[in-house]
Amino acid sequence: APALPAGQGLVVVVNRESGTATATASLVRDMLPMATVMEVAPADLPAAFADAADQGRALGVCGGDGTVNLAASVAATHGMPLAVFPGGTLNHFAYDLGIETVHDTAAALTAGDAIRVDLGRFRPGPKGADGADGYFLNAFSLGVYPELVNTREHWSPRIGGWPAGVLAAFHVLRGQRPLEAEFQGRRRPLWLVFVGNGLFRRVGPNPGRRHNLADGLLDVRVIHGGRGPALRLLAAAVAGPLTRSPVHAAVRRRRVRIGGLAPGTPYAYDGEVAHSGTELMIDKLPEALTVYCPMPV
C-alpha cells in the first residue's frame, strides 16, 4: 500500500462514543500530524466515511468492530487501503492482524506495509430478491448468539468480558427456544449458527484468534437444538472450545445457505444486530480488502 509518512493523505474517522476512541484519536494526531482526523457521533459515521473516501489516499478508522466493519465496506468499495486504530471495547479484527497500539499502525503506514484480507458477505433475503449485501470482518451468526452479544456487552464493563460471556450464556439458554431453520437441505432445530471469516481457534463466550485472514473459507459452527444439548453447549463454552461438545458440528465452506427463516429473525455480524428475511446467503470475497499491518520480525 502507499507509504504515508506522518499520515500524509490519510483521513481517519473516529467514533467518539466507542471505548477508548477519543483518547486514541489524540495519540493518532500526535504520531501522524499530517493526517486528517474526524471525530463524529455514531449516527454520522456513514456520511463521514463517504467524505473521507473522497478526500484521502487511504481511509483510517478508530472505534470498535462495528465501526471498523463500516469502514471496511467503504474502503473495499472504493479500492482504498484501510488503516485500523484499535479504540473500541472489542478489537478482534485489529488484534488478529497483530495491531494492538497506534504505534503498530503508524509504523505500517510509514513503511507502506499491508496485507490483503477476505471480506465476508451476506444477503438477508432470498436469492434474486432486492436488498443490499452486508459484510463482516470477524463473524456472522444467528440463533442465540445475537442475544449473547447484547447481554455480554451489557455486563462486560461491570464484571469483565469472560465472566459476562458466561453470565450471558446462562441467561440466554435458560429463556430461549432453538431456532427452526433449513440448513444444508434439512429443516432442524438449531441453537446457534456461527460463520467465521477464516478459521477461529476457539469459539465460546469469547471468540478466539485467527492466524490467516485470507484463507478463502468460512468457519461454520452449528449447535443442534434440544434442552439437553443446550446444557452441554454451556458446559463446553465455559470449559473451552466448542469442539468438545457432542452436539457441535464444524465444517469449512466457501458459501452457506440458511432457509425457512421466520421474517425478522435476528442475526449478528461484527457485534451489530439486524433482522433477516426468509433466507440468508453467506459467502466471502477473497482478498477484497487491503489493510495496513506491521510485518512480523
pLDDT digits over 189-201, tens only? 887 888 999 988 7
Q: What is the pLDDT of residues 238-295, one digit of tens each?
A: 444 445 455 556 788 999 999 999 988 888 899 888 888 899 999 999 999 999 999 8
Q: Does position 158 have pLDDT exceeding 80, yes or no?
A: no
**CATH class of the 120-286 domain in this structure:** mainly beta
Contacts by 241-246, CB closer than 8 A, 24 or more apart: 241/201, 241/202, 241/203, 241/204, 241/208, 242/203, 242/204
The pTM for the full model equals: 0.84
Report the distance separating Cα 223 and Cα 194, nearest Å.
9
Report the distance separating Cα 76 and Cα 290, nearest Å.
8
Q: Does position 229 have pLDDT exceeding 70, yes or no?
A: no
Superfamily of domain 5-112: Probable inorganic polyphosphate/atp-NAD kinase; domain 1 (3.40.50.10330)
Given a contact cutoff of 8 angstroms between Cβ atoms, the answer to whether 218 and 252 are in contact is yes
- What is the per-residue pLDDT for 59? 98
Q: What is the pLDDT of residues 89-148, one digit of tens each?
A: 778 899 999 998 999 999 999 999 999 999 999 988 766 555 678 999 999 988 876 676
Report the distance separating Cα 50 and Cα 74, nearest Å.
7
Average pLDDT estimate for 32-56: 95
Average pLDDT, the chain: 84
Domain 120-286 in the same topology as domain 5-112: no
**Burial (CB count within 10 angstroms: exposed 0-12, middle 13-18, buried 19+), residue 124:** buried
Report the distance separating Cα 293 and Cα 221, nearest Å.
28
- What is the per-residue pLDDT for 269? 92
Q: Does position 41 have pLDDT exceeding 90, yes or no?
A: yes
The strand pairing partners of 191, in sequence order, are none
For cell 470449559, name the residue: 239
Domain spans, the chain: 5-112, 120-286
List the single range of 34-48, 67-81, 167-181 with lowest mean pLDDT. Answer: 167-181
E strand or H helix at 84: strand 82-86
Report the distance separating Cα 207 and Cα 189, nearest Å.
23
- What is the per-residue pLDDT for 107? 95
- What is the per-residue pLDDT for 132? 77
- What is the per-residue pLDDT for 19? 76
Q: pLDDT confidence of 232, banded at 50, 70, 90? A: low
- What is the per-residue pLDDT for 228? 58
Identity of the highest mean pLDDT range in 43-57, 89-103, 166-180, 235-249: 43-57
